Amino acid sequence: MSKREKTQTGVAPANRMHTVSEETGQIVDLVLDYSRRRMLGSDTPLDKPMSLTELTRLAGSTITEDGIGARRALGLFENVLAPACITTDHPQYLSFIPTAPTKAATAFDLVVSASAVYGGSWLEGSGAVYAENQALAWLAAEFGLPSTAGGVFVQGGTLGNLSALVAARENAKRARAERGDETPIRWKIVCSVEAHSSIASAARVMDVDVVAVRPDEFGRLAGGAVREALDEHGESAFVVVATGGSTNFGIVDDIASIAALKDDHEFWLHIDGAYGLAAMLSPIGRPYFAGVERADSVIVDPHKWLFAPFDACALIYREPEFGRLAHTQHAEYLDTLTQTPDWSPSDYAAHLTRRARGLPLWFSLATYGGGAYRSALTASLQLARDIAAEIERRPELRLVRAPQLSIVVFERDGWAAADYEAWSARLLNEQRAFVTPSSHAGRPNTRFAIVNPMTTFEQLVGILDSM
Ligand SMILES: Cc1ncc(COP(=O)(O)O)c(C=O)c1O
């Protein structure tokens, strides 16, 4: 059959997947119906992983020459594949860093897909870029950055950190070259030994060294130790990374004392606030973040504690021009985009094609307003404090550290790593909670990472009772 010929349904085979037809109408209805049920359901189970053998038995091979049809494919997703994915926005998902997208943000993610918006350039997506930039400007203002600050939403904290660090090094190179200084043989990133693994990953990609500095007795990287590192490594230390909420404990480095070093040392200050910087929106969290206003770049992941769906990291530069100079890709076919003063998000990170992944956050912020965010964040910060107090009341439990943000780490008397593992597996098997074992300084423990305002004190108490 030639491309022009039509089937009985009147649709040419080449057009079948794109045209608006009865078939495509049914597909869209099926998908929207599923999405509606998932978004508005209040009893989505936690679910748990399945083995490859089990999945192969239940789902089998799904891609065939003629297709299995949307109804069967969606049925497989709903009944086999989705139940093999842990529900990361479940209130009792308390491991790693969970996610808890608002209903508006999740719903709007469908709109972003449906609209085929291109988020890379002003030319193609000015409306989307305008809205994303409003969300970034709102965040920048909350963090105390100047109104000229700006940036881009990238895929995740790892890419956000890498992009900021690349901009920092380009900036250092340029500054040294302008002064006629020699380029250091090895560039160095100064950060805490507790910094997230994505900093070491960025260093490997950039082929630079990491100077891992010991934190103070409270687990915070602080000015004194950073000063020693800067004095020792001199010109080669181009950036200091302070963590605004460590992943293990939610500890915020002593950013103010590090930022104060800018008065007499030349370095780029980057804040990795992937998880924790969101807490600045709450009066409980804000005091920990003094000094952020002096940062040269910050990141915060809306898919962590700013209630947006996967995946989005807000990368904000104090002086966006440094980001643009570091990242703009040059090619003949792109000149039409890059040789204009227009703001093109692609120019501000290590990427080109991009989904307008900041739009779900923008829509949710626009819908509910900043106050709703403050309430939701405050609820988790308060809950962390309440459950920490409960842990302290229980003689068989020991709080490893008092929580600063919303991560609560604790030990059960007499438990070895195997006990935590067995308990954690049982909780998930019984679909009660997803709480994984962790450890600190060689001692096994477990932790609650709370970002979902639907998590309750009673649920957490129930988990403690199960130990
Ligand atoms: C402090 C911190 N930085 C960076 C990252 C990496 O972010 P992503 O997983 O979005 O790449 C994480 C992830 O948990 C984190 O907690």
Query: If you average pLDDT over residues 413-434, what whole number do you get?
Result: 98
CA 148/CA 169 separation, integer angstroms: 21
Give the ligand 1 atom nearest the CA of 245.
1
111-125, 259-273, 279-293, 337-351: least confidently modelled range: 337-351
Residue 182 DSSP symbol: P
Q: Measure 421 CA to ligand 1 centroid, in angstroms.
A: 24
pLDDT at res. 3: 47
Angle at 78 between CA 428 and CA 436, to 5 degrees: 20
Q: Please determine, for residue 363, whether its predicted confidence score (pLDDT) is greater than 60.
A: yes
Residues above pLDDT 90, as percent of the chain: 95
Mutate to test the pocket of ligand 1, among 275, 289, 357, 436 (most ligand atoms within 8 A of CB): 275
> Using 50, 70 and 90 to split pLDDT, how confident is the model at 1?
very low
pLDDT at res. 179: 94
Backbone angles phi, psi at 358, to 5 degrees: -85, -10
Specify whether 171 is located in the same domain as 319: yes
Q: Measure 196 CA to ligand 1 centroid, in angstroms.
A: 7
Is residue 24, in this structure, part of any structural domain at all? yes
Q: Measure 335 CA to ligand 1 centroid, in angstroms.
A: 34
Q: Give Cα 185 distance to the centre of its chain.
A: 33
pLDDT at res. 334: 86
Specify whether 427 is located in the same domain as 459: yes
User: Residue 287 is which amino acid?
Assistant: P
Specify whether 198 is located in the same domain as 328: yes
> Using 50, 70 and 90 to split pLDDT, how confident is the model at 8?
low
CATH of the domain at 264: 3.40.640.10
Specify whether 225 is located in the same domain as 339: yes
pLDDT at res. 73: 98
Give the ligand 1 atom nearest the CA of 97.
14
Give the ligand 1 atom nearest the CA of 273.
1
> Which residues, in sequence order, are bridge partners of residue 237?
188
Specify whether 214 is located in the same domain as 127: yes
Specify whether 382 is located in the same domain as 454: yes
Q: Measure 274 CA to ligand 1 centroid, in angstroms.
A: 5
Domain coverage including residue 423? 371-465
The total of structural domains in the chain comes to: 3
**Global pTM?**
0.97
> Using 50, 70 and 90 to split pLDDT, how confident is the model at 335?
confident
Query: If you average pLDDT over residues 309-328, what whole number do you get?
Result: 98
10-14, 130-134, 259-263, 313-317: least confidently modelled range: 10-14
